[in-house]
Amino acid sequence: MKMETIQAAEAIDFSAVGLFLQSSLTVQVVMIMLLVASFWAWAIIVQKYLVFARARRDAAAFDRAFWSGEPLDDLFDRIGDRPRTAPERIFAAGMTEWNRSQRDSGELIPGSLPRIDRAMNIAIQREEARLFKGLSFLATVGSTSPFIGLFGTVWGIKSAFEGIALSQDTSLAVVAPGIAEALLATALGLVAAIPAVIFYNKLSGDADRITGSWENFADEFASLLSRQIEEPAA
Does residue 181 carry a pLDDT above 90?
no
CA atoms within 13 A on the CB side of 179: 11
pLDDT at residue 143 above 60?
A: yes
From 11-25, 79-93, 148-162, 211-225, the region with the lowest mean pLDDT: 11-25
Report the amino acid identity of residue 36: V
- Please, are residues 94 and 220 in contact by the beta-carbon 8 Å criterion? no
Whether 123 contacts 90, CB under 8 Å: yes
- H or E, element range at 155: helix 135-167
The burial of 147, by beta-carbon neighbours within 10 Å (0-12 exposed, 13-18 middle, 19 or more buried), is given as: exposed
Mean pLDDT of 5-16: 52
Rounded mean pLDDT of the chain? 83
Q: How sure is the predictor about 126, in pLDDT bands with cuts at 50, 70 and 90?
A: very high
More confident residue, 129 or 81: 129
The CB density around residue 173, as the number of other CB atoms within 10 Å, is: 18
More confident residue, 11 or 56: 56
- Residue 114 has what pLDDT? 86
pLDDT tens column, 189-223: 999 999 999 999 999 999 999 999 999 999 888 88
Per-residue pLDDT of 28-39, as tens digits, reads: 888 899 999 999
Q: What are the backbone angles phi and psi of residue 2, rounded to the nearest 5°? A: -65, -40
Contact status, residue 93 vs residue 120, Cβ threshold 8 Å: yes
Angstrom distance (rounded) from CA 97 to CA 116: 6
User: What is the reported pLDDT for 12?
Assistant: 57
Q: For residue 168, give the DSSP letter.
A: T
Q: What is the pLDDT of residues 36-76, one digit of tens each?
A: 999 999 999 999 999 999 999 999 999 998 888 888 888 88
Encode pLDDT of 216-234 as tens digits.
Answer: 999 888 888 887 776 654 4
The predicted model gives 178-187 an average pLDDT of 82
Of the chain, the percentage scoring pLDDT greater than 70 comes to 79
Residue 16 has a pLDDT of 63
Q: CA-CA distances (angstroms) from residue 210 to 46, 52, 75?
A: 17, 8, 22
- pLDDT of 66 reads 86
